[in-house]
Amino acid sequence: MSLSTLSQVNQELLLTAIEQSYEGFLLADSTGRIFYANKVVEQISGIPITDIVGKTTREMRNEGIIISQSIKVLKKDPLTISQKVCTGVEVFITSKPVYDDSGNFLCYVANYRELSSLNELHKEHHNQLNINYSELQQLREQALKTEDWIGNSYKTKALKEKVYKVAKTEASLLIVGESGVGKEVISKTIHKMSDRKDSPYIQINCGAIPESLMEAELFGYEKGAFTGAVASKPGLLEVANGGTVLLDEIGEMPIHLQVKLLRVIQMKEITKVGGTKTKKINVRFLAATNRDLKKLVLEGTFREDLYYRLNVIPIHIPPLRERKEDIPPLGKHFLKKYNSKYSANKVITEETKKILMEYRWPGNVRQLENTIEQLVILTEGNKVRPTDLPREMSGEIPNEREEEIIPLKQLRESMERKMIKLALNRYKSIREASKYLEVDHSTLVKKIKKLGI
């Protein structure tokens, strides 16, 4: 009898029984794409069913949900899989195809069990993947002690697991995410966990260096190479020799310099501006961007060969609105930080916490930190209430009692800070933002530094 011949009542009874089982069940189509999982799968793994159903094992591995996997064929049909997921849980899955009476394939059915009780299989699993488990544990502990990397959502855990794996390698990484998600934090963590941790870490903001100076800043220059070059100077890539370089806002790099950067990555050598001799360097390259580099490649403003050189291992950082479980620990961390900095003792009320959790945070973690600092400075009394929040969060319009007269210079700086932040969030790069703010690129860079943005 096939599933299609089951009555509606029997189907509901069957699904009810499966849902109430102590064992996890998965159903997948002929391509391995999961179309059903019972609640026990979520309980065992700690992963929401919505992030499992509709995906294949390969897709979940690429997204960091599945950290590692080993496979054994027990007989002709059954397939045994041991998996480790991003929440740290290890599971044991036995899958087999299901056929109807006519021999037509219906689906794959899989039993989903926790692996903690199967210690021997656990050891065998790690031996097969040639993982030094104790070293991995040390890396995890090291990352957890990194004060700047805070968050316990399953997406953050998946991201941490991916970083543990790539940190010890020499592969180039492309870190992608919206403005303010913490790309620099991830980059620094990778450097600290790598074998280069005792060597220089140099961050180069490709959007903040004027185009006319970028080549000299990156590669250095020889005496007399241009007016004002009274002595030779090493470039940032030479200063970083033996260490790690983060090419931040890589999408802003002029295309003629992309060619030279590609050669540096390929040949591991640089030539100073005005020089003829090459010098070998040993640098690991990390790149970060909030732009769609594939789109830039299609538009002809970013070289395809450089894109693939940098994108050996992509690391996507989810926006804060997709990992809201991280908001409470991040808020607690920033509150402690700024209470200490300003000798304050502010406490955030439960009503205020609820609003912070519901807000979408377009500026991500950076906006959350700036908001907490603002609340610590400006809130009257020790309790931070909903009316103390910025207007776009609380929806409250300050009454006349709350209006204050402030110096015009302070008001001007406050409005400049607000407009610059808005432009940077909307246009994604300093160079593009400067066009819409109608100021020179160099002027905007100075204002960003002056206003502490």
**pLDDT at res. 345:** 94
CATH node for 3-128:
3.30.450.20
**pLDDT at res. 285:** 96
CATH node for 135-316:
3.40.50.300
Please tell me the distance from the alpha carbon of residue 334 to that of residue 142, in angstroms, as a whole number. Answer: 21
Please tell me the distance from the alpha carbon of residue 166 to that of residue 172, in angstroms, as a whole number. Answer: 9
DSSP string, 84-133: EETTS-EEEEEEEEEE-TTS-EEEEEEEEEE-TT-HHHHHHHHHHTT--H
Please tell me the distance from the alpha carbon of residue 110 to that of residue 188, in angstroms, as a whole number. Answer: 41
Positions of the chain with pLDDT under 70: 1-11, 71-77, 115-148, 394-406, 428
DSSP 248: E
Cβ-based neighbours of 24, under 8 Å, separated by 6 or more: 37, 38, 40, 41, 43, 44, 91, 111, 112, 113
- CA-closest candidate to residue 338, choices 377, 300, 305: 377
CATH node for 323-451:
1.10.8.60
The length of the chain is 453
Mapped onto helix, strand or coil, the DSSP state of residue 426 is: helix
pLDDT tens-digit series, residues 246-282: 999 999 999 999 999 999 999 999 998 888 889 999 9
**pLDDT at res. 125:** 42
Helical pair 430-437 and 441-451, crossing angle rounded to 10 deg: 100
List helix spans (H) across 268-380.
293-299, 304-310, 327-341, 350-358, 364-378
Cβ-based neighbours of 336, under 8 Å, separated by 6 or more: none
The separation between CA 401 and the C-alpha centre of its own chain, rounded to angstroms, equals 43
Delimit the domains of the chain by residue range.
Answer: 3-128, 135-316, 323-451
Contact (CB, 8 A) for 437 and 446:
no
List helix spans (H) across 168-230.
183-193, 211-219
